[in-house]
Amino acid sequence: MRLKHCINFHDFRELARRRLPSPIFNYIDGAADDETTYRRNSSAFEECDLVPNVLAGVEKVDLSVKVLGQRLEVPFYCSPTALQRLFHHQGERAVAHAVQKFGTMFGVSSLGTVSLEEISSDFSFPQIYQFYFHKDRGLNRDMLERAKGAGVRIMMLTVDSITGGNRERDLRTGFSIPLRLTLEGLVQFAIKPKWAFDYLTHERFRLPQLEQHVQMAGGATSISDYFTNMLDPSMNWRDVAEMVKQWNGKFCLKGVMSVDDAKRAIDIGCSGIVISNHGGRQLDGSRSSFDQLAEIVEAVGDKIEVLLDGGVRRGTHVLKALPLGARAVGLGRYYLFPLAAAGQAGVERALELMRAEIERDMKLMGCRSVAQLSRSNLRFRNSSHREQGEP
Ligand SMILES: Cc1cc2nc3c(=O)[nH]c(=O)nc-3n(C[C@H](O)[C@H](O)[C@H](O)COP(=O)(O)O)c2cc1C
């Protein structure tokens, strides 16, 4: 199987599975506990049917959207994800090239492996910086100033990771950073020598957003120590209100799932929220992002911009989220498996397939622009949506 044979998410996932040592594949593919939320994130889209209109004159289709003050050529963006150079030696650079090509935006993670300064100096797309809240308030302030200095346009604070999720696949393989593998995990690395060759013959693995503050070299601290010892589980709305003030620009909370929290985000001056459960990697049993979308948009959609991520694998998933009021939709594993499978060429192929699916499906829906997609194009099978006044 090669890149040219990949025509959908499942193919990229399979190619990544064949190329990665299994502890790394399972780190990407895995989620918390029984992975119920992970599965539900995608299957929730199947509870919603599309109702097309025809004869609408759709030779040209405009896929652009405006979100958080930025114009995107396509209604999807690449969500922030950690450790990308571990998946493929090009890491964030590959994703950034693809994002630039498709005119969208990209979130560099606090646990990113290329510096936010490098990405903002080499690329012109709207950069998001994904932030975790530390116990050390001075460190938080310094990081915000650093991001501002680098030209980051959108600050995205992840609020669903107050403690690490229970990723049982990682417990079994011993996956951690630095790597402390079980014997079985080590064997899995030994049988994927190409990955090991690429990893060892390229620039040293780093976490440049954190390395001034956290000593990970020589195994001094692991990412799980970082979560346990440095992040602040007492973080509350007052703390975040201060950050929003200090940032004084577009500020987004990633990981909001309830109407009450969405309202509080408005009260403290946030510009946006991302409805997200971290791809099912944190609280298993949490409702799917798509299932929460209508309820949240109905309550606050005219006062704050609502984005969504989780389980998006198809153009039709995007076409179901937009009429319910999502301004844009975040992709996670959808671009990570292609990255792992084939670097920049993989991410570009995956984003092109997503763009083409959305364009084709908009034509089939009889819509020339995203604004023309409306709730009248959707029907829910599940009665709870109808009770909430859904069509
Ligand atoms: C391997 C991996 C690493 C991730 N790292 C981060 C991260 O560093 N910060 C963050 O806010 N979200 C992180 N996420 C969550 C994504 O931003 C996004 O919410 C999630 O992947 C969406 O679900 P999906 O992958 O099913 O599309 C990560 C997700 C994956 C799969």
Q: What is the mean pLDDT of the chain?
A: 92
pLDDT for 277 equals 98
Determine the distance separating the centroid of ligand 1 and the alpha carbon of 28, expressed in angstroms.
Answer: 9
pLDDT-based confidence at 175, cuts 50/70/90? Answer: confident
Q: What's the rounded mean pLDDT across residues 320-327?
A: 98
Residue 274 near ligand 1, beta carbon < 6 Å: no
pLDDT-based confidence at 386, cuts 50/70/90? Answer: very low
Closest CA to 207 of 143, 107, 85, 113: 113
Dig out the tokens for 148 from the structure.
Answer: 């501002």
Q: What's the rounded mean pLDDT across residues 317-337?
A: 98
Residue 167 near ligand 1, beta carbon < 6 Å: no
Determine the distance separating the centroid of ligand 1 and the alpha carbon of 166, expressed in angstroms.
Answer: 15
Of 88, 89, 97, 278, catalytic: 278
- Please identify, by atom number, the ligand 1 atom nearest to the C-alpha of residue 311: 26
Determine the distance separating the centroid of ligand 1 and the alpha carbon of 45, expressed in angstroms.
Answer: 19
- The pick from 43, 78, 79 for probing ligand 1's pocket by mutation, whose C-beta has the most ligand atoms within 8 angstroms, reads 79
Q: What's the rounded mean pLDDT across residues 136-154?
A: 91
- Please identify, by atom number, the ligand 1 atom nearest to the C-alpha of residue 28: 1
- The pick from 281, 290, 336 for probing ligand 1's pocket by mutation, whose C-beta has the most ligand atoms within 8 angstroms, reads 281
Dig out the tokens for 127 from the structure.
Answer: 């950069």
pLDDT for 290 equals 98
pLDDT-based confidence at 391, cuts 50/70/90? Answer: very low
Determine the distance separating the centroid of ligand 1 and the alpha carbon of 278, expressed in angstroms.
Answer: 5
Residue 309 near ligand 1, beta carbon < 6 Å: yes
- The pick from 81, 95, 133, 307 for probing ligand 1's pocket by mutation, whose C-beta has the most ligand atoms within 8 angstroms, reads 81
pLDDT for 387 equals 46
pLDDT-based confidence at 214, cuts 50/70/90? Answer: confident
Q: What's the rounded mean pLDDT across residues 301-319?
A: 98
Q: Alpha helix (H) ranges present in the chain?
A: 9-19, 22-29, 36-43, 84-87, 91-102, 116-122, 137-150, 168-173, 183-190, 193-200, 223-225, 237-247, 259-267, 289-300, 315-321, 333-365, 383-387
Determine the distance separating the centroid of ligand 1 and the alpha carbon of 368, expressed in angstroms.
Answer: 31
pLDDT for 182 equals 72
pLDDT tens digits, 231-262: 888 999 999 999 999 999 999 999 999 999 99
Residue 19 near ligand 1, beta carbon < 6 Å: no
Q: What's the rounded mean pLDDT across residues 103-118?
A: 94
Q: Is the pLDDT of residue 57 over 80?
A: yes
Residue 311 near ligand 1, beta carbon < 6 Å: yes
pTM given for the model: 0.95
pLDDT-based confidence at 389, cuts 50/70/90? Answer: very low
* Radius of gyration from C-alpha coordinates of the chain: 20
Kindly state the percentage of the chain with pLDDT values over 70.
Answer: 95
Residue 334 near ligand 1, beta carbon < 6 Å: yes
pLDDT tens digits, 282-304: 999 999 999 999 999 999 999 99
Nearest CA to ligand 1 atom 19: 278
Task: Show the 3-state SS of 32-69.
Answer: CCCCHHHHHHHHHHHHEEECCCCCCCCCCCECCEEECC
pLDDT tens digits, 12-45: 999 999 999 999 999 999 999 999 999 999 999 9
pLDDT for 371 equals 95
Kindly report whether the peptide bond that precedes residue 178 is cis, defined as omega within 30 degrees of 0: yes
Q: Is the pLDDT of residue 216 over 70?
A: no
Please count the CA atoms within 13 angstroms of the CA of 119 that sit on its side-chain side: 31
Lowest mean pLDDT among 51-55, 101-105, 209-213: 209-213
Please say whether the beta carbons of 64 and 173 come within 8 A. no
Nearest CA to ligand 1 atom 7: 81
Determine the distance separating the centroid of ligand 1 and the alpha carbon of 332, expressed in angstroms.
Answer: 5
pLDDT-based confidence at 330, cuts 50/70/90? Answer: very high
278 in active site: yes
Q: Pick the more confident residue, 356 or 140.
A: 356
Residue 28 and residue 314: Cα distance in Å, rounded?
Answer: 19
Task: Show the 3-state SS of 178-224.
Answer: CCCCCHHHHHHHHCCHHHHHHHHCCCCCCCCCCCCCCCCHHHCCCHH
